[in-house]
Amino acid sequence: MDVLTDELNGVAQLEAACGDICADCTAGDVQELLRDAGLRPTRQRMMLGQLLFAGMNRHVTAEMLYAEAAAAGMQLSLATVYNTLNQFTQVGLLRRVGPDGSRCFFDTDTSVHPHFYLEGEDILIDVPENLVVERMPEALPGHEISRLDIIVRIRRKVDGVRRAG
């Protein structure tokens, strides 16, 4: 058997297993999503795609997704999770959001929308209301604006008192 046949058999087995677990399995949807994005639906991409795209929009780090995959019995390395998240981002299936220099989240909602970042808790959530930007700055000569990221950093109040910062 060649590598492509092995991959196709792996995808078929994954779809069958998903169908056994839940009646409304989205393996076919994930496979179509990957193909439409120009990605081959490998076993690893399909498994991680199931975790990422089989429900509501969410924000995950590579470590969070790796832990979910391990808990689901998936045999993947952290490097594979990072590579897959980066591939999904490159083709537009995910949006990378970096609220600080050390943490990177991947958002399944790729539309332009603002986020709250809860400092000290490493949690990223969508701002629940619409935010209006009245005027965008002009791009530098020879450049264009590719996207807008707005991250509102928040922290819990200590005993109802605002902390100095």
What is the predicted pLDDT for the residue at 164? 60
114-138 burial: b if 16+ Cβ within 10 Å, else e:
bbbbeeeeeebeeeeeeeeeeeeee
What is the predicted pLDDT for the residue at 7? 39
For the chain, list residues with pLDDT below 70.
1-27, 160-165
What is the predicted pLDDT for the residue at 16? 41
Cα Rg, the chain, nearest whole Å: 19
What is the predicted pLDDT for the residue at 58? 93
C-alpha distances (whole Å) from 30 to each of 35, 48, 68, 157 are 9, 10, 17, 41
Confidence (pTM): 0.75
What is the predicted pLDDT for the residue at 55? 84
What is the predicted pLDDT for the residue at 91? 96
Query: Phi, psi (5° rounding) for residue 116?
Result: -100, 135
Q: Which residues pair with 97 in a beta bridge?
A: 105
What is the predicted pLDDT for the residue at 120? 86
CA dihedral over 76, 79, 80, 86, signed as positive or negative: positive
What is the predicted pLDDT for the residue at 27? 64
pLDDT digits (tens, 9 = 90+) for 134-160: 888 999 999 998 888 889 999 988 876
